[in-house]
Structure 1
């Protein structure tokens, strides 16, 4: 395994983050990328050693992950990664269909805000992607791009809601990856959207974001 998902944690990583925040960030990314399989046990002793934190911050992180619907705790049985529920697709898509375009519009109004440079760098990378890109790396990069756009909205409450929803969507994608269109095609849909954000074109960013959500929903439904 690549060290602590360095590609997708770079957006969230803070110089002075607490141990509980670090544990949450790293464990969350393992869960959404299915490194911890749906239904798999959360073994505190093992995880505490792997991510180099104590039991107390790890338990704080697990409480947050329960609120994110990524883990579930059963009395006398322990804590487990939640199963991926395909029946939640309609609800998730409906909410994302409202919030993702809003975030894109706000991001465009800000011209990318504090992450404009990072958006431009990510845009350059997308445009240079080759056909032989590693699928795992592409998935991590896709998560990073979505988090950048969320951050560019400069609305902490909106960003928090979208990160939670995006986490659930990523689990769906990982579970069905072998039946969905190539990840490279999915990522390249972001090019026009990110350019609209950097150009400050609010209406175009909003429309493209709505189309992106709809494309994902349609792609998943086609293989269900």
Structure 2
């Protein structure tokens, strides 16, 4: 599948502390693994990645350890490190967790009307309304979904909830990428985010939670229809 550089989020993210080399390597590799630019089962060549990313072996290995804890790579003694397979059979278990925690995050974000992330949430609404994903642009739609969910997790104001949901969202997105070419409604799945984000900035926790619950349920339904 064609994968576009993940530049949209970086371009709009607020200034923050300087990231370490390990953080930079982690974020770049995480993106490639989630969107299958590094194919499931493909070996991860540390030497090539070190040169390509411009980081030394030590920060690269730190990044790989974090990716292994997120179930995106697996290291085998005397064999090396490999991208994990996409476990489609885990869809039900992933969805069970997300159907409980995603509405919780949306409701918490709405209770605070986006909190410190309110301006960022409002900017997302404007951007999504002005440049919505199209049926032909599946990669863009997938990246939109991940970006919006991550913004909501941050707006919820609970770092433990955020970390858990990011991990499960990463796994769900990999499954989505496997099925993307057979899904006819990706852009429609993203368009509901405008309703969701508006409920958050309006402080309507019940509507935000219900919209998110339906959104996650529909994700599983769409995937099952094509697998």
What band does the TM-score fall into relative to the shorter chain?
over 0.9
Q: Bigger shift: 179-188 or 209-218? A: 179-188
**Would the alpha carbon gap of residues 130 and 202 (structure 1) be closer, same or farther in structure 2, given more than 3 Å must change?**
closer
- Which aligned pairs between 1:1-224 and structure 2 lie closer than 5 A? 5-9=6-10, 11=13, 14-128=16-130, 129=132, 131=134, 134-224=137-227
TM-score normalized by the length of structure 1: 0.94
Give the superposed CA RMSD. 1.9
Gaps of 5+ in 2: none
> Over residues 66-103 of structure 1, what are the superposed CA-to-partner deviations in whole Å (9 max), with x where a residue is unaligned?
01000001111110000001100000000001100000
SS of 1:123's equivalent in the other structure is: helix
- Length, aligned pairs only: 224
Q: 1:12 to 1:183 in 2, by over 3 A?
A: farther
CA distance in 2: counterparts of 1:132 and 1:222, whole angstroms: 18
1:8–1:140 Cα contact (<8 Å) kept = no
**Normalization by structure 2: what TM-score?**
0.92
Q: 1:124 & 1:4 partners in 2: Cα distance?
A: 22
Distance 1:223 1:13 in 2: 41
In 2, Cα distance between equivalents of 1:73 and 1:175: 23
